[in-house]
Chain A
Amino acid sequence: MVWSYFFFLVWFIYLIASSILLFTKGFLLTRDSFEFNSTCLTYSEIPCTPTNSEHLLSNGNNAEKHSCSTTEKLENILTNVNSASNFCLPARARVVLVIIDALRYDFTQYDKENKSPLPFQNRLPIIQETLESVPEKVRLYKFLADPPTTTMQRLKALTTGSLPTFIDAGSNFASYEIKEDNIIDQLMRNNHSTVFMGDDTWDGLYPKRFKRSYPFPSFNVRDLDTVDRGVSENLYPELEQNDWNLLIAHYLGVDHAGHRYGPNHPEMKRKLEEMNIVLKNIIHRMSDDMILYVLGDHGMTVTGDHGGETENEVSSALYVYSKIPFAAPQNTTVTKQVNIVPTLATVLGVSIPFSNLGSVLHDALPILNHTTIPQWKFSLFPIWSNVEQIVEYLQHYSSDSDIFEADRVRRIFNKFNILKAKLYTIDNPKSFEDFRYVTDELITEIRKMCEEVWIQFDSFSITRGLLLLFLSLFFVFIIADGVPAKYLKELFLSSFLVFSYFACFIAALCSLILYYFDVINNFTSSTFFATGVVSQLMLAMLIVQNWDTISLNWHSKSGNNKFISFSCRLVLVFNLVSLFSNSYIEEEASIFLFLLTTVSLVGIVSFCKNMIKEKSSRWLRYKFILFSIGISILLRLSVNFWRCREEQGSCFSSNIINVSKETTKSVWAVALASLALFTTITKTWLRNCGSLNDYSLSVTFAKYAPTVMVVCTGGYWVLHRTPFDSKPRSVQAWKVDHLVWMVYASSILGIVCTIIQPLLVYVLPRRSNANIPNEHNIIPHLFRRVKGLMEEKSESKNDIPVIYGLGTVFSTVYLVIGVYFTILLGLLLGESGAPSAVIMFLATTFILIVISTLRIEKAASIDDLFEVPNTSILIWVITSHYFFYGTGHQPAWSNIDWNAAFIGTSGVFANNFVQGTLVILNTFCPYIITGFFLPMLVITPFTLFVMTPSLLRKNKDLRKDSTNQGELLLFERSDNLLTAVFVACCKYLACHGIRVFATMLAATVHCRHLMVWKIFAPKFIFESVAMLVTLISVTFGYLVLIRVNYQLEKFINKLNKHVS
């Protein structure tokens, strides 16, 4: 029966996860990418004789080679301007492309008036100097990136000219090779060569494409200099070389400085000044056939992060310095990032990549060195080639799928044809200008249309995912809430579960067969759907069968406790509705604080209501109120650890602490003190429980490991805080990491040990019965009572074993594992976040105590205590969500704390699995803690019997039931315990699930909303990952319970045998 509960949970978990995945499939679609390449005849392949273009194309390569002058040949090409994309003009220059990661536009500005510039202001004076001294050689643009502003997406855009879609954002650190047509491949196909140095993301995107490449690891955000130093070392010698056409140098230091310290920090000043020197050197060393493009791939927020679509993140700078004069004077100051692609293609004399959506930046083109032909003709040619390429792409795309409105596409083709007819009427620079303006408009229109459409949703999967999720939550909640515990046991002893599993298996098999015979084309989603439908049917059948018990149960339950259940329903509804409002999602931290505090205040009121019936001790009431206020104060304290979203503009000005990333000594001291205090408190508690007396492995660990972990964490922070260069020679990076590994190892070992030997009890040797081993420890009198329990079992009075820690045998295991995890979390959250982990742990335990006190107050008998009220579950859910914010997280990409990935992993692990786990642990820690602690909702009242017997003095009914046994009562009714925890798990998951459902629905409803990719979609993704984490942690918590129960049974049996 134990396992049938577990398997039902697994089934439920599968249902939730599969419907979320189904929804995700429909909601987060990717753009179709074509593997077509555009081709052109290069300058050397084009014959001299003036022929019409069709002829030329058909036998371009075989055409006999006349020798003719360059002028003739060029004129010849220019006559074919109406099919410009088939021809390539010769290369105009060699290109040095310097990418300064996260170069925000205002970094490049220079303000002479500013006498006391911030660290990021006025640090690139070279740009201003050249703008003043040689304005004809220099261009500076504001360079607007498309969101998402993560480096890999930007690199894709910078080489293919397309708009990377949202789904790519997640795969930033496992970059995949680019298959779409791009500028690097174009160069390779035309036998031009590229040299690359810098961020190794490039090497992942373009393996084996470079003539020479000098990649450097980019993942370690802490390391500001390795990449930059490496790039600079290789850059200057390469500039001397003659064998490349494109040289890419990707500097990462500025971005890393932003991530690590934020823009407002001396390190940023240092990095920018370094960049200034680099630019100066490059300009100095460039030979006469070179053009320099310096650009940022994205900007950064006030905190130095990026990923979103705010003004600060999307605006970077493009600076062009050319040795060759420009073809046209600068007439724009703002340009889109994708425009660089056709521009580079034109300068390098290759064709524009197939899926490019940018337009040629004609005022940043150098002239084609020729005297007799007017320059505007050379500009017109690539512009028309650009238009042709885009229109061809559109044609291809719209013929392949019907996502574009046919009307719109036709209108665009019409415009294109009109323009084409006009092409030969252009005969002077003036008409060329007009023409250029019109083509620009056309390209912008096409790009806008693509942008709109590339967020296409698959409504089929979306609706099914929504429906299945809702139904499974609904049915399971009815079963968990409606069927009384004793019937539930019978229900699970029947063959129902086996049948359901069997049915699901058959459904999966059917879809496999259908897939095999090509009836359906998507195996996973149809399996999800088929098993989901079958499961819903099974659940519905179960409900119909038991409807009479369910309705009876609900009927008897209704009527009690109106006040609390009403306010909790209000809170739940409020909570769900608020997910549909973007401003409420932005401010969700305050909203959860508000709700949670309200609930704890309501708890006080309702407690007082109960207490009035009997005029009981005031002291108890004070104690209760103290605890509730304690919760509220802890919650309010955790406000200091909130982070701001980029959208919350006012938030940044109000608390400056959040902006600067550097931690002060006092922060460090507070963090360490809180961790130390935490270990002391928990250890004192455990000692009072009598759990720390044995000498077994798990007890020894529980005794010493937390202290060791805290010391190591503190040591790591100290060593980490010292600046890189002032570190003593003896302390190398890997030695610092040893401390971290200590923490990891001891927490993992501790948890494993505790699972293997979950009973932290100590059997006092019988001879030394009167002699208590630790005399200064106050062993509470309750362990005598445990003795009393044994008395009943064994008749003879002489043979009573005295066992320490048996009264709290269940809760201890959870507490110990929780302690390991919390300290680990303290390390991962860093100095500034560590106290919040402690606050989270304390607040959850306080909440447990308060909830349990309330429940003890209300309970009429022990059996009542096995029933966790829905309100407690709701409070537990809100707690988990609140502490997501309370530990300094926000559901936004730029707020993910990547620093956690580098704690103790400097360059050791080849794959990103460990780093990913660390980031997930950091981000979703509260869900892990609350999910794992869920069985404690059932256990805690019994713990309180033992630890604070005064609580019961009042409740006479319970006293009758020999409550002094504490958690042994749970063991005696282990069936009830497992059922109760199972029901609690189901309800908890359902409550979490309904929130996920609400976010899914919100994302669907708002799928054309302005904020969908900024707020609703990230919210949905964070919420569903949180759901997955919760699923795992709840299962883990339940397994631990089963394990403890099993071991306890063995232990008691042994004891009984021994005694008798």
Chain B
Amino acid sequence: MEKLWKGVIFAIQMLVVLYVISVLLGAPFISNFEQTFMFSCILTVLAVVPVILYLEIDDIFQLLDVVTQPPKDSLHNMIILQFEITLLGAWLGAVPIPLDWNREWQIWPTTCVLGTFCGYFIANIVSYGIQSTNIFSRYRKSHRFKNVL
């Protein structure tokens, strides 16, 4: 129960941090509060919550440590990859905003939200792919060993 609380509090912390980061990267500070807030909510849910759930992290520094360290095991690797690619997707989502195509979806934060979803989606596929190749290669390796032996 205590862990749950800690996790929730950390999620809220991350929500605030992500909000601040998106403002620092150029999102409007107050005027589009609702949109920016929703965006950071989505980002938190997709990127941060899995990390909290699976890796039991409840501190920003711990998170930074985990992200930058070489992964310990495959689950770890998967979750971190997912975290990173989701954030990258959100970051790349800003690319079409300045273009002058005059589409109604070209506004903050629609593209970034889409980017987040895309990132999450791709991350899942990629991590699945890595997992399967890992298993495959392990299988191959063990196989080869058998042959040698």
Interface residues in chain A, defined as those with a beta carbon under 8 Å from any beta carbon in chain B: 581-584, 586-587, 590-591, 593-594, 597-598, 601, 604-606, 608-609, 612, 618, 621, 629, 632-633, 635-636, 639, 654
Interchain CB contact under 8 A, A612 and B98 = no
Interchain CB contact under 8 A, B23 and A583 = no
Q: List 5 A-B contacts (CB under 8 A).
A: A590-B98, A597-B25, A598-B25, A601-B21, A608-B65
How near does chain B come to A573, taking the closest CB pair, in angstroms?
Answer: 13
Cα A490 to Cα B3 with chains together (Å): 63
Which A-chain residue is minimally distant from B99 (CB atoms)? A583
| Also in contact, A581 and B99, with CB within 8 A (given A590-B26, A597-B25) | yes
Interchain CB contact under 8 A, A609 and B25 = no
Interchain CB contact under 8 A, B25 and A593 = yes
- Contact pattern, B 50-72, Cβ under 8 Å of A = 1, otherwise 0: 00000000000100110111000
Is residue B43 within 8 Å, beta carbon to beta carbon, of the partner chain?
Answer: no
Cα A606 to Cα B31 with chains together (Å): 33
Cα A444 to Cα B147 with chains together (Å): 86
Interchain CB contact under 8 A, A587 and B23 = no
| Also in contact, A587 and B98, with CB within 8 A (given A593-B26, A594-B25, A639-B26) | yes
Cα A874 to Cα B23 with chains together (Å): 23
Is residue B149 within 8 Å, beta carbon to beta carbon, of the partner chain?
Answer: no
| Also in contact, A598 and B68, with CB within 8 A (given A584-B98, A593-B25) | no
Cα A196 to Cα B29 with chains together (Å): 54
How near does chain A come to B110, taking the closest CB pair, in angstroms?
Answer: 16
Residues of A within 8 A of B10 (CB): none
Interchain CB contact under 8 A, A594 and B94 = yes
How near does chain A come to B43, taking the closest CB pair, in angstroms?
Answer: 14
Is residue B37 within 8 Å, beta carbon to beta carbon, of the partner chain?
Answer: no
Residues of B within 8 A of A635 (CB): 24
Interchain CB contact under 8 A, A605 and B98 = no
How near does chain B come to A842, taking the closest CB pair, in angstroms?
Answer: 16
How near does chain B come to A331, taking the closest CB pair, in angstroms?
Answer: 36
How near does chain A come to B105, taking the closest CB pair, in angstroms?
Answer: 15
How near does chain B come to A407, taking the closest CB pair, in angstroms?
Answer: 35
How near does chain A come to B17, taking the closest CB pair, in angstroms?
Answer: 10
16 new A-B contacts at CB < 8 Å, known A584-B98, A587-B98: A584-B99, A586-B100, A593-B25, A593-B26, A594-B25, A594-B26, A597-B24, A598-B25, A604-B64, A605-B68, A608-B61, A608-B65, A608-B68, A629-B24, A632-B24, A654-B31
Which A-chain residue is minimally distant from B21 (CB atoms)? A601
| Also in contact, A621 and B99, with CB within 8 A (given A605-B67, A639-B26) | no
Interchain CB contact under 8 A, B24 and A609 = no
Which A-chain residue is minimally distant from B63 (CB atoms)? A608
Residues of B within 8 A of A583 (CB): 98-100
Cα A583 to Cα B68 with chains together (Å): 36
Residues of A within 8 A of B91 (CB): 598
Cα A234 to Cα B29 with chains together (Å): 55
> How many A-B Cβ pairs are below 8 Å?
50
Which A-chain residue is minimally distant from B95 (CB atoms)? A574
Which B-chain residue is minimally distant from A585 (CB atoms)? B98
Cα A987 to Cα B31 with chains together (Å): 41
How near does chain B come to A195, taking the closest CB pair, in angstroms?
Answer: 49
Residues of A within 8 A of B29 (CB): 636
Cα A608 to Cα B59 with chains together (Å): 14
Cα A605 to Cα B87 with chains together (Å): 13
Residues of A within 8 A of B68 (CB): 605-606, 608-609, 612
Residue in contact with A636 in the complex, picked from B24, B61, B65, CB distance below 8 Å? B24
- Contact pattern, B 104-117, Cβ under 8 Å of A = 1, otherwise 0: 00000000000000
Residues of A within 8 A of B64 (CB): 604-605, 608
Cα A635 to Cα B100 with chains together (Å): 25
Cα A342 to Cα B94 with chains together (Å): 53
Most buried by A among B64, B65, B94: B64
How near does chain B come to A559, taking the closest CB pair, in angstroms?
Answer: 16
Residues of B within 8 A of A609 (CB): 68-69
Cα A586 to Cα B100 with chains together (Å): 10
Cα A609 to Cα B68 with chains together (Å): 5
Residues of B within 8 A of A597 (CB): 24-26
How near does chain A come to B101, taking the closest CB pair, in angstroms?
Answer: 8
Residues of B within 8 A of A618 (CB): 61
How near does chain A come to B16, taking the closest CB pair, in angstroms?
Answer: 13
Cα A586 to Cα B68 with chains together (Å): 36
Interchain CB contact under 8 A, A612 and B25 = no
Residues of B within 8 A of A633 (CB): 24
Residues of A within 8 A of B98 (CB): 583-584, 586-587, 590-591
Cα A523 to Cα B61 with chains together (Å): 64
Residues of A within 8 A of B100 (CB): 582-583, 586
How near does chain A come to B134, taking the closest CB pair, in angstroms?
Answer: 21
How near does chain B come to A824, taking the closest CB pair, in angstroms?
Answer: 30
How near does chain B come to A108, taking the closest CB pair, in angstroms?
Answer: 32
Cα A582 to Cα B100 with chains together (Å): 8
Cα A90 to Cα B26 with chains together (Å): 66
How near does chain A come to B103, taking the closest CB pair, in angstroms?
Answer: 12
Which B-chain residue is minimally distant from A636 (CB atoms)? B24
Residues of B within 8 A of A594 (CB): 25-26, 94
Interchain CB contact under 8 A, A621 and B61 = yes
Residues of B within 8 A of A582 (CB): 100
Residues of B within 8 A of A621 (CB): 61
Residues of A within 8 A of B31 (CB): 654
Identify which of residues 103-147 in chain B touch chain A, using a CB-to-CB cut-off of 8 Å: none
How near does chain A come to B97, taking the closest CB pair, in angstroms?
Answer: 8
Residues of B within 8 A of A636 (CB): 23-24, 26, 29
Residues of B within 8 A of A590 (CB): 26, 98
Which B-chain residue is minimally distant from A613 (CB atoms)? B69
Cα A633 to Cα B91 with chains together (Å): 19
Residues of B within 8 A of A632 (CB): 24
Which B-chain residue is minimally distant from A563 (CB atoms)? B68
Cα A593 to Cα B98 with chains together (Å): 13
Residues of B within 8 A of A587 (CB): 98
Residues of B within 8 A of A612 (CB): 65, 68-69
Which A-chain residue is minimally distant from B23 (CB atoms)? A636
